[in-house]
Amino acid sequence: MFSTQVLDTYTPKMLSVLRIVTGLLLLQHGAQKVLGFPPGGRGGGIDLSTLGGWSGPIELVGGVLIIVGLLTRPTAFILSGFTAVAYWMVHAAQSPYPINNGGELAVLYSFVFLFLFFAGPGTWAVDNMIGRKRS
């Protein structure tokens, strides 16, 4: 039904789509915490003297870098660790099961960012434009 050869030609582009959508979703968390937008969540008033206070800026800056595909691998590595720590510090203490502790998103983010660390940014990324200029 689907030719593997045809599907394989779209893999780098779909990797970019995965990266961009994941970055947009993470960016929302940071924007809500730092900028109070979109309204409805806990927003504004971050306290950088606390570990939790750093989550908004990390999500905001990391989300932007992931969306545009700039410094993708190091950013993805940091975000993978950041979301893993978020899971273990915030969610795992409530229950050992992600479905019960609300940590599914943190686990998924951690593994998607780990994948991006190994796979790279895909076709549509600033990293690729910078790489071409150096060549």
Place of tokens 């689907």: 2
Give residue 135's pLDDT: 41
For the chain, 135 residues long, the average pLDDT of each consecutive 10-residue run is 90 97 97 88 74 92 98 98 96 95 97 98 95 59
51: closest CA among 90, 79, 23, 24?
Answer: 90
Residues 6+ apart with CB under 8 A from 31: 37, 38, 60, 63
Q: Which pLDDT score, from 0 to 100, does residue 40 have?
A: 78
C-alpha angle with apex 17: 59 to 103, nearest 5 degrees? 45
- Model confidence pTM above 0.85: yes
What is the pLDDT, as a whole number, of residue 83? 97
Q: What is the DSSP letter of 89?
A: I
Which three-class secondary structure state does DSSP give residue 57? Answer: helix
pLDDT score recorded for residue 133: 60
Q: Which of 59, 69, 55 is nearest to 17 (CA)?
A: 69
Number of domains in the chain: 1
Helix or strand or coil: residue 45? Answer: coil
- pLDDT score for 109: 98
Amino acid at 19: R
**Res 48: pLDDT:** 85
Supply the range of the domain harboring residue 100.
4-134
Per-residue pLDDT tens for 47-72? 888 888 899 999 999 999 999 999 99
Q: Where are the beta strands (DSSP E) in 70-130?
A: none
Query: What pLDDT is stored for residue 104 in this prediction?
Result: 97
